[in-house]
Structure 1
Amino acid sequence: MVMSSSIAISEKRFDHSFHYFSRQAFSMTLGILVGWMIFKIPLSFWEKHRGKLFLIGIVLLILVLLIGRDINGSKRWLPLVVMNFQVSEFMKMVVVIFMAGYLERHASAVRENIFAVIRLALPFGLMAVLLLLEPDFGSTFVIAVIITGMLLIAGAPWLYFVITVFPIAVLLMVMVIVSPYRMARVTNFLDPWSDPFGKGYQLTQALIASGSGEWWGQGIGASVQKLLYLPDAHTDFLVSIYAEEFGFIGIAVLVMLYLMICYRLFRIGRKAFEKSAFFGGLIAYGVGIWIMLQALINLGVNFGLFPTKGLTLPLMSYGGSSVLMLCIALAVVLRVDYETRKPEIHQTD
Structure 2
Amino acid sequence: MVVKVKNKNVDMWLLLAVICLSLLGVLMIYSASYVWAEYKFDDPFKYAKNQLLFFMIGLIVMYIVSKINYNFYFNNANLFLLICVILLILVLIPGIGTIRNGSRSWFGIGSFGIQPSEFTKLALIIFTSKYLSKNLKDIKDIKKGVLPIIVLTLFIFGLVMLQPDFGTGTIIVMSVMGLLFISGVKLSFFMKIGLVGIIGVVGLIIAAPYRVARIISFLNPWSDPLGSGFQIIQSLFAIGPGGLFGFGLGNSRQKHFYLPEPQTDFIFSIISEEFGFLGIIIVATLFLIIFIRGFTIAYKCKDLFSKFLVSGIIFGLAFQTLLNLMVVVGLIPVTGVTLPFLSYGGSSLLITLISMGIILNISRYQK
Percent identity of paired positions between Structure 1 and Structure 2: 36
Secondary structure of 1:119 counterpart? helix
In the alignment, what sits opposite 1:344?
Answer: none
Q: Which runs of 5+ in 2 are unaligned?
A: 1-27
In the alignment, what sits opposite 2:200?
Answer: 171
CA deviation vs aligned residue, 1:240-270 (integer Å, no higher than 9, x gap) = 1110001122112211221121011000000
Q: Which amino acid aligns with 2:160?
A: L
TM-score (norm 1): 0.94
Secondary structure of 2:335 counterpart? coil
How do residues 70-219 of structure 1 correspond to structure 2 at under 5 angstroms? 70-80=99-109, 83-219=112-248
CA deviation vs aligned residue, 1:69-104 (integer Å, no higher than 9, x gap) = 101221111123683111111011111101110010
Structure 2 contact 128–149 (Cα < 8 Å) conserved: no
Give the whole-Å Cα distance in 1 for the aligned partners of 2:255 and 2:86: 38
In the alignment, what sits opposite 2:328?
Answer: 302
Asked if residue 233 in structure 1 is aligned to residue 275 in structure 2, the reply is no
In the alignment, what sits opposite 1:291?
Answer: 317
Q: Alignment partner for residue 243 of structure 1, among 272, 277, 284? A: 272
Give the whole-Å Cα distance in 2 for the aligned partners of 1:192 and 1:140: 25
Q: Alignment partner for residue 347 of structure 2, among 297, 309, 321? A: 321
Point out which structure has higher relative CO (alpha carbons under 8 A, 6+ apart): 2
Structure 2 contact 153–176 (Cα < 8 Å) conserved: no
Give the whole-Å Cα distance in 2 for the aligned partners of 1:74 and 1:22: 25
In the alignment, what sits opposite 2:360?
Answer: 334
The alpha carbon displacement at 1:195 in A equals: 2.0
In the alignment, what sits opposite 2:89?
Answer: 62
TM-score (norm 2): 0.89
Give the whole-Å Cα distance in 1 for the aligned partners of 2:144 and 2:198: 19
Change (3 A) 1:183 1:142: same
Secondary structure of 2:243 counterpart? coil
Structure 2 contact 31–250 (Cα < 8 Å) conserved: yes
Asked if residue 27 in structure 1 is aligned to residue 50 in structure 2, the reply is no
In the alignment, what sits opposite 1:260?
Answer: 289
Q: Which amino acid aligns with 2:89?
A: I
Structure 1 contact 149–286 (Cα < 8 Å) conserved: yes
The alpha carbon displacement at 1:160 in A equals: 2.0
Give the whole-Å Cα distance in 2 for the aligned partners of 1:244 and 1:253: 14
Structure 2 contact 140–185 (Cα < 8 Å) conserved: yes
RMSD of Structure 2 on Structure 1 (CA): 1.4
Q: Which amino acid aligns with 2:122?
A: M
In the alignment, what sits opposite 2:305?
Answer: 279
Give the whole-Å Cα distance in 1 for the aligned partners of 2:236 and 2:118: 28
The alpha carbon displacement at 1:113 in A equals: 4.1
- Equivalenced residue count is 338
Q: Which runs of 5+ in 1 are unaligned?
A: 342-349
Give the whole-Å Cα distance in 1 for the aligned partners of 2:51 and 2:282: 23
Q: Which amino acid aligns with 2:218?
A: F
Structure 1 contact 68–75 (Cα < 8 Å) conserved: yes
Give the whole-Å Cα distance in 2 for the aligned partners of 1:104 and 1:24: 36
In the alignment, what sits opposite 1:346?
Answer: none
Question: Which runs of 4 or more aligned residues in structure 1 lie more than 6 Å from their structure 2 counterparts after TM superposition?
Answer: none
Structure 1 contact 57–94 (Cα < 8 Å) conserved: yes
Q: Which amino acid aligns with 2:33?
A: S
Which stretch shifts more, 20-29 or 205-214?
A: 205-214
Structure 1 contact 217–243 (Cα < 8 Å) conserved: yes
Structure 1 contact 114–160 (Cα < 8 Å) conserved: no
In the alignment, what sits opposite 2:74?
Answer: 47
Give the whole-Å Cα distance in 2 for the aligned partners of 1:69 and 1:333: 32
Give the whole-Å Cα distance in 1 for the aligned partners of 2:144 and 2:211: 33
Structure 1 contact 237–302 (Cα < 8 Å) conserved: yes
Q: Alignment partner for residue 12 of structure 1, among 39, 45, 59? A: 39
In the alignment, what sits opposite 1:345?
Answer: none
